[in-house]
Amino acid sequence: MTKCGAVASHRYTWAGQNESFCCPVHAVKLSKVAAARSYYLLLIPIEPQKDVLCTQNESKEPANDSV
C-alpha cells in the first residue's frame, strides 16, 4: 500500500498509540471507524502545512460509501 500523501489537516491518536497526521478525508474515515468500534479517538484540527502530510495508507479497492 502507498501512503495518502495529502496535506494533513488533523493530528490524531488512538489510545496507546503514537500520534500521527491525516487529511480531511481520512479524518472522516477514522472517526467512522472509531464510532463503529466504540474506540476513543483524539482528533485535533491543525493549520495545514505543506510539509505535514497524511500518513494513512491508501487502499486500491474502490470506496463503497453506500451503507
pLDDT at 60: 56
Q: Model's pTM, two decimal places?
A: 0.76
Asked, for residue 23, whether it belongs to a domain, the answer is: yes
Asked, for residue 15, whether it belongs to a domain, the answer is: yes
The 10s digit of each residue's pLDDT in 7-55 is 999 999 988 889 999 999 999 999 999 999 999 999 999 998 888 889 8
pLDDT beyond 50 at 66: no
Asked, for residue 8, whether it belongs to a domain, the answer is: yes
Asked, for residue 63, whether it belongs to a domain, the answer is: no
HEC profile for the chain? CEECCCECCEEEEECCCCCEEECHHHHHHHHHHHHHHCCCEEEEECCCCCCCECCCEECCCCCCCCC
Q: State which residues form the domain around 40.
A: 2-48
Q: What does residue 4 show for φ and ψ, rounded to 5 degrees?
A: -60, -55
Number of domains the chain contains: 1
